[in-house]
Amino acid sequence: MSAAQKLGPSSAKLRLDDKDIDLPIFIGSEGEKAIDVTKLRAETGYVTLDSGYMDTGACTSAITFLDGELGILKYRGYPIEEIAEKSSFLESSYLVFYGKLPSESEYKAFVQRIASFDDIPEGIKQQIKCFPKTAHPMAVLSANLVSLSAWNEDLCTQDLNKDQKDTAIAQLMGQIKVMAAYAYRHSQGKDFIKSDKSLDYCSDFVYMMTGDKNVKKEVAKALDVLLILHVDHEQNCSTSSVRMVGSSKANIFATISAGVDALWGPLHGGANQAVLEMLQEIKDSGKGYEAFLAEVKDKNSGSRLMGFGHRVYKNFDPRAKIIKVACDSVLQTLGVQDPLLDIAKGLEAVALKDEYFVARKLYPNVDFYSGIIYRALGIPTNMFTVMFAMGRLPGWMAQWKEMVEQPGFKICRPRQIYTGDTHNHYVAIKDRK
C-alpha cells in the first residue's frame, strides 16, 4: 500500500447526550489508525482534550514513518538502516524534500546549489561578533536565522513559488553550517574561516570550526551518519513548532528559527548535552559508574540515567544501533583518552546486561552515542544542540513545504478547556482590599 486509505470499518460511533455520532475512521499506509474528529465540535459542541497532544494526529504526512513499539524509522518509505549505510546527509535531505532519491544529475545540481551559499551577509557576521563570547550558540543561531529575512525579502512573501522554495531550501542548508561554525569560532575568540567548496558538507563544517582540512574519513562519515539520523522524526516538539508557526504564513526564516528555539529545550534537543553533564557529575563525585547505577535503581536517590530509553521508542532506538557502530569507529580512529568516555563505555556495558535496565527497556538512545562522538571530536557541550539543528533542518523544511502545499492548508488553532473564574466584576482600585 503506497498511499493513505480508509480501510476496515468506515466510522466509529460516539454516544453523546443520548445521541450516536458517526466519526470517520482513517487508516494510514502503514496501518496507523485514527478517528477523524474534524467536525466533532461543529456537530456536537464538544472538543477533545489531549494534554501534550500525545494521542492527537495534527496532520497527515508522507515524509516519515515511526513505530515506537517495533523500533522502526523510515524516510519516505526507506528504512533508516539502508539510508544510513548507503546514502549521505545531502541525498537523504533531497529525499525528504522531494519525495524521491535523486538522479546523478539532480544530486550534483542539488549539492552545487547548496555549496553556492557558502557565505552569510556581512551584517550577520557583525551580529555574531556582537554577542558575548559566553552566549549559547543556539541563541546565536536562532537570531541569525530570523535575521536572514531582512536580507532576503524576495523569499519572505506569503506564497513562494517552486523556484523560491528550492532556493530557500538550498540557502538554509548551505548557510546553517556557516552560522554554526562562526558561532563556535566566536565563542573561542578566533577569526572566522571561509567555507571551502572542494570539501564535502561535513568535512567543510569541521574545517570551518577547526581550520583542519585533513578530516579523517571515519570522522566525516560519523558526522554524516549523525546528521542523517536526525533529519526527521515525525511530529516532535520542534517539527510541530515549525508547522504551527509556518501555518500563519510567517516567512521561512522565522519559521525555521522557531524550530531552533523549540529544539533548544532540555527535554528535546538538549538531551545529548544532559548525557555529558551526567558523565561529568559521575567523574566529579569520584564514586564510579557502578555506584551511580545503583543510585539510579533507588527511587529515593533522585539520580537519573540520561541517554537511555526514549519517549517514543518502547524498544531499542533504531538510530542508536546505527550510531553505536560509528561511535566505536570514531573512538578507535582517534584513540582519544578521556575519562568521561571511559565512564560512558562502562555505563553502556553494565546497563545493557543489567536485568533492571533490560526489563525496563532502558537501552542507550541516539543522544547517548551522539554526545560521546561530539566529545571525542572536541566539540564543546553547548554546541551539541546546534549539531542536532543542522541535522533536523531538512526535516523542518520538508514538513513546512508539505504543509503549505497541501489542499485545505489553514492556520493551526488548537482549542482549550477553560478552568478559570467565571463571575468576577470590576472594582475600582480605591475600593479594592
Give the CB-side neighbour count of residue 343, counting CA atoms within 13 A: 26
3-state secondary structure of 22: strand
User: Do 342 and 285 form a contact (C-beta atoms < 8 A)?
Assistant: no
Give the CB-side neighbour count of residue 268, counting CA atoms within 13 A: 20
3-state secondary structure of 68: coil
User: Do 99 and 62 form a contact (C-beta atoms < 8 A)?
Assistant: yes
The alpha-helical segments, DSSP class H, found in 70-216 are 80-86, 89-98, 104-116, 122-130, 137-151, 162-187, 201-210
Rounded distance, CA 149 to CA 168, Å? 11
- 310 flagged as catalytic: yes
User: Do 64 and 73 form a contact (C-beta atoms < 8 A)?
Assistant: yes
Phi, psi dihedrals of residue 7, rounded to the nearest 5° = -125, 170
Q: Which residue has cell 530509553?
A: 309
User: Do 339 and 284 form a contact (C-beta atoms < 8 A)?
Assistant: no
Other Cβ atoms less than 10 A from the Cβ of 32: the count is 14
User: Do 27 and 5 form a contact (C-beta atoms < 8 A)?
Assistant: yes
Catalytic residue (one of 186, 261, 310, 317): 310
Catalytic residue (one of 204, 224, 232, 367): 367
Q: List residues with catalytic annotation.
A: 310, 367
